[in-house]
Amino acid sequence: MSYLKEKILKDGVVLDGNVLKVDSFLNHQIDPVVLKEISNEFIEYFKDKEITKVMTIEASGIAPAILVASHLNIPMLFAKKTEPSTLSNEDQFSTNVHSYTKNKTSRVLVSKQYLTPDDKVLIIDDFLANGEAALGLIDLVEQAKAEVVGVGICVEKSFQPGRAKIEDKGVDIFSICRIASLENNKITFVEDEH
C-alpha cells in the first residue's frame, strides 16, 4: 500500500456530504514524504509525454504541481482566482470553475504570456470530485491552443462524475488514490472492491 493511502486511512477524516479532509498532510499542512511519493508516481506515469509546463489551480494543487515541475525542470503555472491589477482582460485566458467542497464558483485566469500554442501541459490537482477544476484548466489550455497531455490527480472520489467528464474530453487521467466510497465514515479504495 502506498504511503499516501496509508496517510489517508490513518489521518484522513470523512465529513458529511462525501467530503474527505486531508488537510493534516496534503492541502493545508504538507507532508513532504507524501509529496515526494506523489511527484514520483506522476513523473513515472507521464514520463513519455514531452511536458513543457505543469499547470494547476490555486491553492491546494500548487504543492504537488511545483514538485513535479521541479523534477522535470520546467515551469509550473497556476490559474489565479484573483485578478491582479497588472493583467488586463486582453492579456489573459479566463474561465469559471465551481468548487464542490466550497460550493462556490470562481473565475480563474492565466496570463497569455505564460501559456502558448507550443506548450504541452500536464494538469495536476489534489482532488477530483465533479471534475470542474480540471475541466476549467483544460478550457484554459484549449483557449491558448496548447495541448493537454494529461491530468494527474492525488485523490479521486471515483463515485463522483469527474473522471468520466475528463475521459469524455479524450484526456489521459491518472489518479494515485481512487476512492470508491466514503459511506458510513469508512474509506474504501477502488482496488479494495474487487
Rounded Cα distance between 57 and 52, Å, is 17
103 belongs to an annotated ligand binding site? no
49 belongs to an annotated ligand binding site? no
20 belongs to an annotated ligand binding site? yes
Outline where DSSP puts E strands in the chain: 13-15, 19-21, 53-57, 76-79, 92-99, 104-111, 120-128, 147-157, 173-181, 188-189
96 belongs to an annotated ligand binding site? no
Question: Is 175 in a helix, a strand, or coil?
Answer: strand
The three three-digit cell numbers of residue 150, written as one number: 494529461
130 belongs to an annotated ligand binding site? yes
The DSSP output letter for 170 is T
Binding residues: 20, 27, 129-133, 157
Binding residues for 5-phospho-alpha-D-ribose 1-diphosphate: 129-133
Binding residues for xanthine: 20, 27, 157
